[in-house]
Structure 1
């Protein structure tokens, strides 16, 4: 088995590609030891002591290193743990906490039922144009709501702490949504 790595726009995060499915559906992010307790692999990565985030996508795992940690030292350790996990066929989650979707940490802002057509357009654009691009960078984006012309989104994985995430939201996603959905006046991180 060979695990490829890719850099992400976030210098603290590397994307690891095991060449096989990681999650059958959805995504999952771990931001602490407590979150990682649901997954033996995530817990093992956090046990390295230099990991501050783990994100599972469909066919990749993004790992975020603590500030000041050099990837030259951490990368071989992460690859070793990933190889052990995939070669042994270990479960991704403990049976009691198996989840193949992002836990709803924050409540959605709620959408006005009268704006259902606009919300459907926004969701479709996010799903077909934005999410694939964000996944290429080792992350994900979650729709949280549309209220008074403002679209609320949550960035995850490599994108959540990326220095360019504000530019991605404002210059990329906001421009796209405004172009196709004139009712959108702004995009904000939620």
Structure 2
């Protein structure tokens, strides 16, 4: 599948720097900083950007280009043109970085973190891995993820969930975490340091397209469902993600006042998920939406 790059303009805490975020990864877990056009000799994209007279520094990271400008212009006057220039370059399929042996790469670190689900451990990286969550229940599901496919070759791997900077792995009971955690951690570290592909282009859905579709689906919902989605996104999803999982809104029945959600990653099949649903998510929705919610059910938890 041919990549169709889109660029989203993101302000930063530094008014002189703007991020131009791409919907696909630009580098494999490596970040680069260029102070001038000479330093950028291994990056045709950065060299092109330095031809703009207001460009002071260029940063190229996994899924964005950040530019630090001189004060001769305001970003509001030029950011759209810069975004278009970056987008056009990326869609020519020219190299972003020409790798050399002397290229300064950031070392990958992986640490293992327990989750409320004793069958799942969360392996956290010091780099962004994907732009959105992907769940793989078996090796057939993983055909668009070379990393997940390789993980399923370990006989003790049952399910894989990959999100922004971590990989949650669910094991079969045949293995003990004390015996396999180090092996998985070393495998992931080596895999990522070698710059191997995590997701294929087919799996890497355009972020802008995904957001547009989500907006369309959201607009079709009734008011209570919209409130539920907003509460899940703002209050519940961050807590679930910290436990190595994900939660998605499925449906709301106005007659029974029942909410159905989808649990992924460490939360799927977790022995404590029923407790979490009833004492956490359900109570929160009841409290915030009063008499509009009677129960919450996980359709795959």
How do 1:130-141 residues align onto structure 2 when only pairs under 5 Å count? 130-141=236-247
| Residue 68 (1) aligns with residue 177 (2) | no
CA contact (8 A) 2:156 2:174 kept: no
Q: Which runs of 5+ in 2 are unaligned?
A: 1-107, 208-216
Q: Secondary structure at the match of 1:177?
A: helix
Distance 1:121 1:13, change over 3 A: same
Q: TM-score, normalised by structure 2?
A: 0.56
One of 30, 34, 45 as aligned partner of 2:136: 30
What does residue 18 of structure 1 align with?
125
Distance apart, 1:99 and its partner CA = 4.2
What does residue 106 of structure 1 align with?
none
| Residue 51 (1) aligns with residue 157 (2) | yes
What does residue 151 of structure 1 align with?
259
What does residue 2 of structure 1 align with?
109
One of 264, 270, 291 as aligned partner of 1:162: 270
Task: State the alpha-carbon separation in 2 of the partners of residues 63 and 100 from structure 1.
Answer: 25
Query: Which gives a bigger RCO, structure 1 or 2 (Cα 8 Å, sep 6+)?
Result: 1
Task: State the alpha-carbon separation in 1 of the partners of residues 187 and 140 from structure 2.
Answer: 19
Task: State the alpha-carbon separation in 1 of the partners of residues 234 and 201 from structure 2.
Answer: 32
What does residue 181 of structure 1 align with?
289
Q: Secondary structure at the match of 1:77?
A: helix
Distance apart, 1:100 and its partner CA = 7.5
Distance apart, 1:33 and its partner CA = 1.3
Task: State the alpha-carbon separation in 1 of the partners of residues 251 and 206 from structure 2.
Answer: 22
| Residue 171 (1) aligns with residue 269 (2) | no
Task: State the alpha-carbon separation in 1 of the partners of residues 279 and 151 from structure 2.
Answer: 34
What does residue 83 of structure 1 align with?
189
Cα deviations by residue, 1:72-126 (Å, 9 ceiling, x for unpaired): 221122112211221112111233444489xxxxxxxx99x6x722111111110
RMSD: 1.9
| Runs of 4+ residues over 4 Å off in structure 1 | none
Distance apart, 1:163 and its partner CA = 0.5
Task: State the alpha-carbon separation in 2 of the partners of residues 73 and 39 from structure 1.
Answer: 25
Distance 1:154 1:33, change over 3 A: same
Distance 1:171 1:58, change over 3 A: same
Q: Secondary structure at the match of 1:83?
A: helix
Cα deviations by residue, 1:131-169 (Å, 9 ceiling, x for unpaired): 000001000011001013111001110000210001111
Task: State the alpha-carbon separation in 2 of the partners of residues 139 and 52 from structure 1.
Answer: 15
Q: Which runs of 5+ in 1 are unaligned?
A: 102-109
Structure with greater Cα Rg: 2
